Amino acid sequence: MLHNIRTGCKTIDEILEGGIPNRKVSLIYGEAETGKTTLAMQCALNCARQKYKTLFVDCDGTFSAQRLSQIALKEFKDISELIILMKPNDFSEQTIVIDRLTDYITKSFGLVVIDTLTSLYRAEIAEYPEKTFNLNRELNRQMACLAQIAKTHKIVVLTTSQVRSVFNEALVSIEPVATRVLRFWADIIIAMKPTENPQIIRAILEKNPKKVLPATCHLKIEETGIHECLIH
Ligand SMILES: Nc1ncnc2c1ncn2[C@@H]1O[C@H](COP(=O)(O)OP(=O)(O)OP(=O)(O)O)[C@@H](O)[C@H]1O
Ligand SMILES: [Mg+2]
């Protein structure tokens, strides 16, 4: 059984004693372009290096094979065979994907990525604000399902969520609910905060079952992926 999946960011992997743990749900959240998808791709790559498959649920339609090849380099061909991509088009398709996860996940799978868990939910609320209550309940149910699958199928579940620094009226009411739901279910939470330099991200391990205190490090987004860097 796979125990952990390294993110490729040294401090985070060290504190997590080897990377994102199995049987748990982890959350990476942050503003746009803070490297959430890149970090999730690195996890898929490190999962493939342990010879386990990844089911990558691309809810944003932003998964790029070209980006993966920049990160995987020579390993790209072998790695890409171990990453299975699914692209739900709306929140009801996302619901179906999550409900049927146990049909797809065999013993050869080590990781399920849901990137971005809240984008189709948000689009649905924007179109049908009167359904907000039911959609919140459905989001909560999906997280509960993921937590259950992580435990019973002994896999790593990694979710991402986008937060916005500037709120519009609709988001003021939905954002806190979605955040509360995700925070409740996630065992590990990594916040990605932009800095003055768009290439440098401050990553904060906010929730971690082993250590209470939040830990911070700086990451640099480059052609080869997202890696730790020292800031003086
Ligand atoms: N080849 C590359 N070389 C350097 N930086 C790159 C390269 N490709 C993408 N980036 C940078 O990576 C960042 C986007 O990363 P990523 O897509 O992982 O962010 P994200 O947090 O998932 O964004 P979103 O919230 O929009 O989904 C951008 O700042 C972009 O400039
Ligand atoms: Mg993304």
Contact call for residues 224 and 73 (beta carbons, < 8 A): yes
Pocket test for ligand 1, best of 28, 38, 200 (most atoms within 8 A of CB): 38
The domain in which residue 115 lies consists of 4-229
Each residue's pLDDT tens digit, 115-130: 999 999 999 998 999 9
Pocket test for ligand 1, best of 34, 59, 114 (most atoms within 8 A of CB): 34
Name the least confident of 101-115, 147-161, 170-184, 205-219.
170-184
- Asked if residue 60 has its Cβ within 6 Å of ligand 1, the reply is yes
CATH of the domain at 112: 3.40.50.300
Name the least confident of 92-96, 211-215, 223-227.
211-215
Q: Helix, strand, or coil here: 197?
A: coil
DSSP result, 67-125 = HHHHHHGGGHHHHHTTEEEE---SHHHHHHHHHTHHHH--TTEEEEEEETTTHHHHHHH
At 55 the pLDDT is: 98
Residue 66 has pLDDT above 90, yes or no: yes
- Asked if residue 227 has its Cβ within 6 Å of ligand 1, the reply is no
User: How many domains would you assign to the chain?
Assistant: 1
At residue 79, what are phi and psi to the nearest 5 degrees?
-65, -45
Each residue's pLDDT tens digit, 197-216: 999 999 999 999 877 678 89
At 89 the pLDDT is: 98
Q: In this structure, which residue's CA is closest to atom 30 in ligand 1?
A: 33
CA–CA dist 192, 190 (Å, integer): 7
Contact call for residues 163 and 34 (beta carbons, < 8 A): no
